[in-house]
Amino acid sequence: MSTPHSRRGNTRQRIQDVALGLFSEQGYEKTSLREIAEELEVTKAALYYHFKTKEDIVISLFEDLRGPIDELITWAEAQPRTLATKQEVIRRYGASLRDAEPLFRFMQENQATVRDLAIGNTFKERMHTLFGLLREPDAELTDQVRCLTALFSIHAGMFAMQNLEGDPEEKRKAILEVATELVTAANPPNRRPARPDSAQTVSP
Amino acid sequence: MSTPHSRRGNTRQRIQDVALGLFSEQGYEKTSLREIAEELEVTKAALYYHFKTKEDIVISLFEDLRGPIDELITWAEAQPRTLATKQEVIRRYGASLRDAEPLFRFMQENQATVRDLAIGNTFKERMHTLFGLLREPDAELTDQVRCLTALFSIHAGMFAMQNLEGDPEEKRKAILEVATELVTAANPPNRRPARPDSAQTVSP
Amino acid sequence: MSTPHSRRGNTRQRIQDVALGLFSEQGYEKTSLREIAEELEVTKAALYYHFKTKEDIVISLFEDLRGPIDELITWAEAQPRTLATKQEVIRRYGASLRDAEPLFRFMQENQATVRDLAIGNTFKERMHTLFGLLREPDAELTDQVRCLTALFSIHAGMFAMQNLEGDPEEKRKAILEVATELVTAANPPNRRPARPDSAQTVSP
Amino acid sequence: MSTPHSRRGNTRQRIQDVALGLFSEQGYEKTSLREIAEELEVTKAALYYHFKTKEDIVISLFEDLRGPIDELITWAEAQPRTLATKQEVIRRYGASLRDAEPLFRFMQENQATVRDLAIGNTFKERMHTLFGLLREPDAELTDQVRCLTALFSIHAGMFAMQNLEGDPEEKRKAILEVATELVTAANPPNRRPARPDSAQTVSP
DNA sequence: AATGAATGAGGGTTCATTCAT
DNA sequence: AATGAATGAACCCTCATTCAT
């Protein structure tokens, strides 16, 4: 079962798994290919048979995420730009994240690295597109911030709350609830009477 | 002004400045001491005259922040645990961040690194303490999330909004406003009617 | 014509062609088997089906040249050691070179490599034998140099003149003419009145 | 005298010496920095203190040659374009070569490498300039070949004759003599009667 | 006739760090 | 207050080669 032979055929997958684990645990730069190879009990050179560079491993990891998020964007763009749609975007985005938690942890904690990893920009764009789907361009600044915060609370929340007591699934729900609230508040039904209570920013 | 002579005596400071700049621009691991030294037009060895290790430079950077935040904590702990106090905590925290923006950007984008940098834990604890000052331990999970999100929106918002149009100072204000709202919502005056309507925040 | 099917049976030849092309373009060490395989759209392992080692590919290339040159030597040794014979040696040698230009370019530009490639010595010996056929052992040093230069001008000339304007075939002719002149000058008909002006080398 | 201490200050020079030795003995690609470092009893990293890259070592070696050859070119360009000048060019060029024999051997035997070493082109240009100083642009093709051959015989001759018996200095003289002859033959005094007899060079 | 998967050795390069001066 | 010279460890990556299939 675990002889060199029986492993054939799934090495690529195993590399991805181990790499993601280590990258998200220790950071990208601090994880060496030697380390990955050792944990897999293969040689570094074996990694290079499956991936052209270290960066290529990361790229392949991101590819798994691309699909779901692109689908989400495509779906949202086809919907009417209503509050209900936006709330559903939040919900679905949260679901995507749950399935890709380690990868998001990696992104979250290695932003400086991801930033110039080429794939990084791709992702930033996706985020910006999502943001564009939630906000109204002519809305007040505070509303824009609400939408952004909604998005980020999903990202950050997941990891920040790991230390907190409580059932993970319930925490997830709570995060989504708050994010939904934020989006809701940012998209008032009538649009004119810009939340009477809201900040003293505009209006007399 | 910038002759070798006029630099006398402030090299330590200059190292910190350049290091912080590069760390927050490129990330900690990707910034080498050689790079720092070159930008300062001194030798690497000179850095070691002023700092014992690379990590020591980071530590010294964090020290500038320690004071203000410790003061904030001390102050808050001496206040009554009211909503007003919590709102003031948010306000003051936001102010601290503005003064230390590059350092926070560095923290934000190099979490994986900062995490095992010893000083990292110190900071995490501070954050946790701040969090403890905002939340009510027996509050509902969503309220806890609100407080956490308030804190994070201050962190993340600053950088995420750099791409957004608009006057920086106004954006800052908007972020603080949303954060304040979140804390406010998380600390309802009466405590019973756990806002089902949410967001509408204040009201009599 | 170039479908996988039509290639059947001539892979060995194709490897040689591509290898020679790359070796002479980029040098032996800088050309990897991966590169050769990729250009042929086969796997590296396929190369090993046809050749035992990388060096073996080179050896096989040289083998094509061995024949013609050995014939030339055999022929020359059977002739009377006259000037006419020597001139014909030059002519024939030049002809061999034209047919094997890339291989000679490879030799010329990778001497350091060829030198310890085993086949290298074989070739050096052939060259020395040719040299022996042109020169008179008891001739003056300058005459020996003339013969050597004749040989080299054929080698080097071909490549050095690539940058020069002019019809390739005419350039070839010009090179051969000069080489012939050199050999002629090195083998004076009478032998005694060794160019009165020439070096003070021998003398009575 | 040979303690780590007494070596101080001349390491750079020692690296150049050892590197040139090994490069010209074994070839550039086959000489590893480890090898150079070991022969010097320093670490590879020490090499990088003195030279930015492996290529940089080669460049530094070529720099020693640049001066003399540039001087030669400058001098020649200031002279009248007579046969005597050209003969003197050959003489001086030969002298330069003697002082830089190992480097020329390296160039000669690693052309494929030198070709894409950046400095390689620089040198090729110098050679072309020298060639331009010897030949008459409107001369017949054979005369052009004579000039080129003159230049090459100096290069190649040096190494090719190493295997030949005889005093090195005398061999050098012989080579120069032949090269001079070639240049002389390529620049007939009267210019019209394009020597059909050639080679007999001098004559009264 | 050729592939897929892997290896072991080694490549050049960079790093944080040290220490005598 | 700072330098010049060097180290040791590690890095990512590439190579020629092997072998079961």
pLDDT tens per residue, range C21-78: 999 999 999 999 999 999 999 999 999 999 999 999 999 999 888 889 999 999 999 9
Tell me which residues of chain A have a pLDDT lower than 70. 1-8, 190-204
Q: What integer pLDDT is reported at residue B157 of this predicted model?
A: 79
A2: DSSP letter: -
Taking only the tens place, the pLDDT of each residue in A72-111 is 999 999 999 999 999 999 999 999 888 888 998 899 899 9
Q: Residue B202 — pLDDT band, cuts 50, 70, 90?
A: very low
Q: Region C133-146: what's the mean pLDDT?
A: 91
What's the pLDDT band for B7 if we cut at 50, 70, 90?
low
CB-strand contact D6/F, under 7 Å: no
pLDDT of residue B24 exceeding 90, the answer is yes
Measured in angstroms, what separates residue B108's CA from nucleotide F19's C1'? 49
pLDDT at C165: 77
Region C99-123: mean pLDDT is 88
pLDDT at B156 over 70: yes
**C153/D contact by beta carbon, under 8 A:** yes
Task: For chain D, list residues with pLDDT below 50.
Answer: 1-3, 5-7, 192-204
Question: Crossing angle for the helix pair C11-26 and C54-78, nearest 10 degrees?
Answer: 90
| B153 interaction partners in chain A (CB closer than 8 Å) | 145, 148-149, 152-153
> For residues A100 and B135, what is the distance between their CA atoms, to the nearest angstrom?
29
Contact yes or no for A113 and B30 at CB 8 A: yes
pLDDT for D165 equals 77
Give the one of B145, B157, B170 whose C-beta lies nearest to A174's C-beta.
B145
Model confidence over D177-191: pLDDT tens digits? 999 999 999 987 755
Closest CB from A113, A141, A153 relative to B174: A141
- How far are the Cα atoms of C11, C88, C148, D92 from residue C62, in angstroms, in the given order? 18, 23, 22, 38
Mean pLDDT of chain B: 86
pLDDT at site B97: 86
Tokens of D139: 């001369």
Q: What's the pLDDT score for residue C191?
A: 52
Q: Find the Cα–Cα–Cα–Cα dihedral C148, C152, C153, C158, rounded to 10°.
A: 160
- Residue C200 has, within 13 A of its CA and on its CB side, a CA count of 0
**In terms of pLDDT, which residue wins out, C120 or C174?**
C174
Q: Which chain C residues are closer than 8 Å to D204 by Cβ?
A: none
